[in-house]
Chain A
Amino acid sequence: MQKKFDRGLERTRWLAGITVFAVLGLVGLLANPYVISLMTIVLLFTFLGQSWNLMLGIGGQLSIGHALFVGLGAYSVGVLYVKYGISPWVGLLTGMILAGSVGASIAWLSFRFEVRGIYFALLTIAAAEFARIMFSGWEFVGAMQGLFFAAPTGGIEISMLRGDARFYYFVALALAALGIIGTEFISRSYLGYVWRAMRDDESAARALGVRTFQHKILVISLSAATAAAGGGVLALVQGSIFPDSIMGMGLSVDVLIGPVVGGLGTTFGPLVGSLAAIPLNHLMSALGDSLRIPGLNNITYGVVLISVIWFLPDGIWPAIVRLCKAIQGPPTAWLWQSRKVEE
């Protein structure tokens, strides 16, 4: 979300965006399998972070139960594909519709009765936990044993969305790009202005004639539907679905770490945040495993979250932007930023 849309800045933004994605594309072509699989997760969580960001950063509604929507997407893809052999494309669409309607009904129920702020956040947790427990006990979807996708045969099938790790990397990259372009597009559209107005002051927005009730439902169902799309792809990438990992509190926290660390409400924030946080988490769990210290990654995550809010309350990305503006003029600054992202 940019305060000014002047033309020079506009061009450098595009340039920076294209450079970042060109570099990420090169990574997909050249990097080794470990980096590919790690970066696939980073990009997927960039997309999920965008979806969460849409809800809080632009819509002003805090969700701590995004795992519910992610899980619904994952299960739609999983159940349709594993049980009936139906293409994951159909599963993704089903999941998006399902999660969108669940999101809309949660929003409708709570805003109808003026449940908001912290109570709404708690309601999202309750809904997610309730769903997790239900799915853990539901034999049809594999209960606690989970659902497993057959191992990919090797060939790339676009129609079934199946392929090797590199294929999924590019799927994730496309999703992340879509997320960033979509966020940019939404935040400049009529809806973006309305939602930000609503976020900043709901009563004022309503006084100006914004139907905040409808708009809140819309932003939440849109966020839920996109989260479900991310969840469906996440399930395909992981090759298995377990209720505790795809619908648990842990996933909801993972989803929000990217945007919070990167910068709430910003377009590039979730990407920067995921790039910073997820490899760190992987490194720390690997370190914890090899030193036999379980919980090391939790400690690191906790410290990172607290220090980001403490020292950089609006996240890493706005801090980078400020730094660049302070050091140099805009154009070179933007190039410098894209190099920063590449690291």
Chain B
Amino acid sequence: MLSLWLNVLASGILLGLVYGLVALGLTIIFGVMRVVNFAHGEMVVFGVYIGYWTVRLWNVPIIVAAAIAAVVMFAFGYLLEALIVKRFVNRPHHYQFIVFIGLSLLFSGTLLVAFGPDPRPTASQLSFQTVSLGLVTLDLARVQAAATAGLLIALLGAYLKFSPFGRSLRAAADNRLGGLIVGLNIPRVYAVTFGIGAACAGVAGALISPLFDAQPYLAVDFTLLAFVTVIVGGLGSFGGALLGGLVIGVAEAIAALMFTPSMKTALPYALLIIILVFRPRGFFGAKEI
């Protein structure tokens, strides 16, 4: 019994780290640009497909697929911001939301046209391997995904904290006008921010490709999951995204053990409603929206 619970907790924490990475992408974009990326789930699914195709075509390890996903999705996010999102950054929230709903429809439609609606499982070498640590037996793909996600979160945190670019990014998040006055290249900061956000989503997608079958319809679930995670932690907060990811991962795992599968999917929303009602800005939310 104890070992069952430990296993469930551990796998929840591991998946939670990946959710944290997804949420981090969303929260960085929101924190800096005050834009809610409603197409975030589609970007995760792009990552899943990148994982699927690289593994299928070249039979490389998932880590390599994740690196490819990072580069591709960074470029994608950068271009998307520079070409489209840029024009809507100063519009009211509901306009932005509608643009992003449009983008998400466009992306999911493109995925459907390109790959069809059928689920495609990624045949990773890791799929059936496990590691045992005392009472806990873990699936290797999950451990690897979580370790990579955790490492990336730490690296990204350090980069934002200590590098000159990270400083200008935080300055832009803090005060856009002030940033402009001291000569920050705000358009570039925004484009790079969006690129980083998209890359987080893409890498997370590639990392979980051995766990989830690639399928266009996954996108809505991931978007909503990322929102829930981010709101639980607090929109715009770095630590909040990580904490939110862990909370949601563990809650989902426990719910899957204790309730029916449909309850497992409903639980994050229930959690979100409770949190929004009692702590509207999440655990570490931004003071101002």
B270 smallest CB distance to A (angstroms): 6
Q: Is B162 an interface residue (CB 8 A)?
A: no
Q: Is the beta-carbon distance between A121 and B273 smaller than 8 angstroms?
A: no
Contact assessment for A117 and B93 in the assembled complex, using a CB-CB cutoff below 8 Å: yes
Is B278 among interface residues, defined by CB-CB distance under 8 A?
yes
Residue interface bits A91-127, CB-to-B below 8 A is 1, else 0 = 0000000000000000001100111111101110111
Contacts of B117 in A (CB 8 A): 294
Q: How far is the CA of A73 from the CA of B107 in the complex (A)?
A: 31
A302–B84 alpha-carbon span in the complex (Å): 13
The residue in chain A whose Cβ has the minimal distance to the Cβ of B231 is A122
| B106-A115 in contact (CB<8A) | no
List the one stretch of B69-77, B133-141, B192-200, B259-267 in contact with chain A.
B259-267
Which applies to chain A's interface (DSSP): helix, strand, loop or mixed?
helix
Residue B104, interface by CB 8 Å: yes
Return B116 CB to nearest CB of chain A, in Å: 7
Tell yes or no: B105 within 8 A of A by CB. Answer: yes
Which residues does chain B contribute within 8 Å of A125, judged by CB atoms?
224, 227
What string of 1s and 0s marks CB contacts (under 8 Å) between A304-316 and chain B? 1110011001000
Per-residue CB contact flags for chain A residues 199-240 toward chain B (1 = under 8 Å, else 0) read 000000000000000000000000000000000000000000
**CB neighbors of A among B214-240 (8 A):** 216, 220, 224, 227-228, 231, 235
Say yes or no: B109 contacts A129, CB within 8 Å: no
Q: Is the CB of A306 within 8 A of B273?
A: no
The answer for the CA separation of A136 and B111 in the assembled complex, in Å, is: 26
Contact string against A for B residues 78-103, beta-carbon threshold 8 Å, 1 for contact and 0 otherwise: 00000010011001011101110111
User: B256-289, CB under 8 A of A: which get 1 and which 0?
Assistant: 0000101101100110110011101100000001
Which residues of A from 233 to 270 have beta carbons under 8 Å from B? Answer: 249, 253, 256, 260
Are A119 and B280 CB-contacts (below 8 A) given A256-B98, A306-B103? yes
Q: In the complex, which residues of chain B have a beta carbon less than 8 angstroms from the beta carbon of A62?
A: 93-94, 97
Contact among A109, A117, A127, A297 for B109, CB-based, below 8 A? A297
For the complex, what is the distance from the CA of A60 to the CA of B109, rounded to whole Å? 30
**Which residues of the other chain, A, contact B105 by a CB distance below 8 angstroms?**
253, 298-299, 301-302, 305
Number of cross-chain contacts by CB at 8 Å: 137
A340 to B210, CA, bound (A): 53
B231 touches A299 (CB 8 A): no
Residue of chain A at shortest CB distance from B272: A126
Closest to B220 in A: A249
Contact B106 A306 (CB under 8 A): yes
Q: Which of A64, A123, A249, A305 has a CB less than 8 Å from the CB of B102?
A: A305
A33 / chain B contacts, CB cutoff of 8 Å: none
**A interface residues, how many (CB within 8 angstroms):** 45
Given A129-B269, A130-B270, A109-B277 contact (CB < 8 Å): yes
Q: Does B112 contact A (CB under 8 A)?
A: yes
Residue of B nearest to A294 (CB): B112
Chain B residues with CB under 8 A of A126: 224, 227-228, 269, 272-273, 276
- Chain A residues with Cβ under 8 A from B91's Cβ? 309, 313
- A137–B102 contact, CB under 8 A? no
A133 within 8 A of B: yes
Most chain B CB within a 10 A radius of its CB, from A110, A123, A130 = A130
Any chain B CB within 8 A of the CB of A56? Answer: yes
Pick the most buried of A109, A117, A119, A297: most chain B CB atoms within 10 A of its CB: A119
Which of B101, B110, B231, B272 is within 8 Å of A305, CB to CB? Answer: B101
With A133-B265, A296-B109, A299-B110 already in contact, the answer to whether A121 and B278 are too (CB < 8 A) is no
Give Cα A64–Cα B111 distance, bound, in whole angstroms.
23
* B27 CB within 8 Å of chain A: no
**CB of B182 within 8 A of chain A?**
no
Q: B143 within 8 Å of A by Cβ? A: no
Interchain CB contact under 8 A, B260 and A137: yes
Check A152 for interface membership: any CB of B closer than 8 A: no
Known contacts being A121-B93, A299-B106, is A130 close to B273, with CB within 8 Å? Answer: yes
A295 on interface, CB distance cutoff 8 Å: yes
A35 within 8 A of B: no
Most buried by A among B98, B235, B277, B289: B98
Query: Does chain B have a CB within 8 A of A134?
Result: yes
Q: How far, in Å, is B252 (CB) from chain A's closest CB? A: 13
The 6 closest A-B pairs by CB, nearest first: A295-B112, A298-B109, A302-B106, A305-B102, A302-B105, A299-B109
Extra contacts, 20 of them, besides A127-B273, A302-B109, A309-B98 (Cβ < 8 A), are A56-B94, A62-B93, A110-B277, A118-B97, A119-B231, A119-B280, A121-B97, A123-B273, A125-B224, A130-B266, A133-B269, A137-B262, A294-B116, A294-B117, A302-B103, A302-B106, A304-B102, A305-B101, A305-B105, A309-B102
A-B contact pairs, 13 of them (CB 8 A): A109-B277, A122-B231, A122-B276, A137-B262, A249-B224, A256-B98, A294-B116, A295-B112, A302-B104, A302-B106, A305-B98, A306-B84, A310-B99
| A residues apposed to B, CB below 8 Å | 56, 62, 64, 109-110, 113-119, 121-123, 125-127, 129-130, 133-134, 136-137, 249, 253, 256, 260, 293-306, 309-310, 313
